Amino acid sequence: MSRGPTPKVERVVPNAFERRDPAPNKRVGVNALHRPLLWFFALLATSAVARAAGVNDLARGGDGFWVQAARFASLTDPSVRYALAGALLLGLGCGLLGGFIVVRKMALVGDALSHAVLPGVAAGFLWAGTKDPVAIFIGATIAGLLGTATVSAITSTTRLKEDTALGLVLTSYFALGICMLTMIQRLPNGNQSGIGTFLFGQAAALGADDIGLMSIVTAAVVGVVLLGYKELLVTSFDPGFARSAGLPTAWIHHTLMFLLAAAVVVALQAVGVVLVSAMLITPAAAAYLLTDRLHRMLLLAAGFGMVSGVVGAFGSFVGQGLPTGPLMVLAASTVFAGAFLFGPRHGVIARWWRQRSERGRTRRENALKAMFHLWEEDDFGPEGVALNDFAQRRRSTLEEIGVVVRELATHDLVTLDREMVYFTPAGRLRAGEIVRNHRLWELYLTESANIAPDHVHDDAERIEHVLGEATVRALERRLNYAKIDPHGKLIPSPRELHRAEHDALERPAGPGRSGGGEGGRS
């Protein structure tokens, strides 16, 4: 296993004053990539050291992107294999647990917990004296659980609200961790600790032991989720019901918190303390936008988590050792943005499109309705409606009405023949329905809801487009199949329309057209 000689880390310590100078190598963070040039050449000079360095240091050879990408894909480098395995495991574990975090509305609990593990990381290191994964795992898990326990202790014994308690615990534990880390840095073996990778993550620093531990924890997470799926589901959805059904909700909660702490801790090395909560929340939230079922959501979340993990590890490799955590989080955020914008049902674009087509339908139906009114004034005669009258009625120009009529024609609702517009059978049916809905609704509002007749029109304008079949039937029953609306007009049913048309044909041409438009027709 190759772990690089971590560059010397100078910390912000009071004694550092003398060492501060304007030269660029003020301090070199483990994750700060653009190390000063001098340091870089020194590193090259001691080539044996350089060869032993981690992925990021190997990457400094000046190879192009594609060479690096190919090297990553070929998996010849053991640290690449470890990084990849780590990214997949962490994506899986965090994604699964994140699903529950999101549906239980505990997103920020994950955030607090992930910051609270830091003093445990330092304590584990102190205890073992080296960066021993198991010691760090135990220390960090305990610290994380203590952190969540502190949050509940604060909220239950004081008036402080949960958000305050979370913020308080998050930063206080984190500060303790930073104090301890900066103290470790000045220990004789502290500079070798590589413990700085815990802040922003460095997948390349993962070793075989780390991967072993990650596998165990991830297997435990998967196992618990598989075995306890229905218990987790019901306690997440309705804790009150779960308790009344005799489920041990408190234990389920504690188990979940424990797994969460464990998953966060094993992910630390790769993602870092600061951003690990995002790997819990973001992939799961993206999945939440795409499906309505919890099990599908968990699978998707795990998938997104793994993809983001791999992308992050890859980016860190080809990007000359950029910190892995931010790259993974950016990948996950991109997935989220994609789901947010392009989700087939809940996506912003899908909704915008639905609204647009809905508006289009409303526009067409309103045009049909206007045409119906003209036809009605013509006593349902066999002639079509003149384009001129139509334009006048809609208070629009001939060109505008032309556009509308063409749109109706493409939907097979009307036909246009020499300046005259005719309903198709489908168009006539739809126009009748709209007018019928409108008038039924107006009648309902005035008769049953005591709304003044002069107020009902605007409501009906909106309602007519959305009334479902069942509601229309209910309205008819309620109104005793009334035929006349509050303004004294016919409420057209298909049969009545048919009869009216028939009557119009029987009538001799001429006198019947008394109510029509003013002379526009020839």
Partner 1 sequence: MTDAATPALEIHDLTVSYHRKPVLWGIDVAITPGQLVGIIGPNGAGKSTLIKSCMGLLPVSGGWVKVFGKPLREATGRVGYVPQRESVDWDFPVSVLDVVLMGRYGRLGLGRRPGKADREAARACLDKVQLLPFANRQISNLSGGQQQRVFLARALAQEADLYFMDEPFAGVDAATETAIITVLRELRSAGKTILVVHHDLPTARQYFDRLLLLNMNVIAFGPTEEVFTAELLQKTYGGRLTLLSEVAQALGAGANAGGGDRA
Partner 2 sequence: MMEDFIPVFDFHQVVVAPWTEHLPLFGWVALMGFFVAAACGLVGNYLILRRMALMGDAVSHSVLPGLVIAFLLSNSRGTLPMFIGALVAGAVTTVLIELIHRNSRVKQDAAIGIAFSALFAVGVLLVSLYADKIDLDADCVLFGEIAFVPLEAQVMLGSWALGPESVVRMGLVLVAVGTGVIVFYKELLVSSFDAGLSRTLGINPAVFHYGLMAMLSIVVVGAFEAVGAILVIAMLILPGATASLLTTRLGVIHLLSLAQALVCSMAGVMLGVWLDCSIAAAMVLAGAGLFVLAWIFSPTQGLLQRWRRH
Ranges within 386-445 binding partner 2 (CB under 8 A) = none
Among 330, 429, 482, 500, interactor with partner 2 by CB under 8 A: 330
User: Coil, helix or strand for 484?
Assistant: strand
C-beta of residue 30 within 8 angstroms of C-beta of residue 197 = yes
Nearer to partner 2, 188 or 510 (CB): 188
306, 223, 213: which is closest to 262 by C-alpha?
213
Helices (H) and strands (E) in the chain, counts: 24, 3
Residues 144-183 that bind partner 1 (CB under 8 A): 159
141, 185, 138, 147: which is closest to 168 by C-alpha?
147
Among 255, 333, 415, 424, interactor with partner 2 by CB under 8 A: 333
37, 79, 39: which is closest to 313 by C-alpha?
79
Among 49, 107, 420, 472, interactor with partner 2 by CB under 8 A: 107
Out of partner 2, partner 1, none, which partner does residue 455 contact, by CB within 5 to 8 A per kind? partner 1
Among 85, 178, 262, 368, interactor with partner 2 by CB under 8 A: 178
User: Coil, helix or strand for 482?
Assistant: coil
Q: Which stretch binds partner 1 (CB under 8 A): 39-47, 109-117, 318-326, 442-450?
A: 442-450
Among 184, 370, 386, 421, interactor with partner 1 by CB under 8 A: 370
Among 180, 300, 307, 374, interactor with partner 2 by CB under 8 A: 180
The answer to the question of residue 226 lying near partner 1 (CB under 8 A) is no
How far is residue 421's CA from residue 520's CA, in Å, rounded to a whole number?
Answer: 13
The answer to the question of residue 325 lying near partner 2 (CB under 8 A) is yes
Site string for partner 1, 83-102 (x = CB under 8 A): --------------------
3-class secondary structure for 489-511?
CECCCHHHHHHHHHHHHHCCCCH
181, 235, 169, 200: which is closest to 329 by C-alpha?
200
- Which residues have C-beta within 8 Å of that of residue 188, sequence separation ≥ 6? none
Out of partner 1, partner 2, none, which partner does residue 80 contact, by CB within 5 to 8 A per kind? none
Among 2, 172, 415, 493, interactor with partner 2 by CB under 8 A: 172
486, 402, 398, 488: which is closest to 445 by C-alpha?
486
Residue 107 CB, shortest distance to partner 1, in Å, is 22
DSSP 276-336: HHHHHHHHHHHHHHH-S-HHHHHHHHHHHHHHHHHHHHHHHHHTTS--HHHHHHHHHHHHH
The answer to the question of residue 163 lying near partner 2 (CB under 8 A) is yes
DSSP 145-195: HHHHHHHHHHHHHSS--HHHHHHHHHHHHHHHHHHHHHHHHTSTTGGG--T
Site string for partner 2, 58-97 (x = CB under 8 A): ----------------------------------------
Residues 111-150 that bind partner 2 (CB under 8 A): 111, 115, 126, 129
Residue 197 CB, shortest distance to partner 2, in Å, is 11
Among 49, 176, 416, 429, interactor with partner 2 by CB under 8 A: 176
The answer to the question of residue 200 lying near partner 2 (CB under 8 A) is yes
Residues 466-505 that bind partner 1 (CB under 8 A): 466-468, 471, 474-475, 478
Structural element, H or E, at residue 465: none
The answer to the question of residue 401 lying near partner 1 (CB under 8 A) is no
User: Applying CB under 8 A, which residues contact partner 1?
Assistant: 159, 351, 354-355, 358-359, 361-363, 365-367, 369-370, 373, 394, 444-445, 448-452, 455-456, 458-459, 461-463, 465-468, 471, 474-475, 478
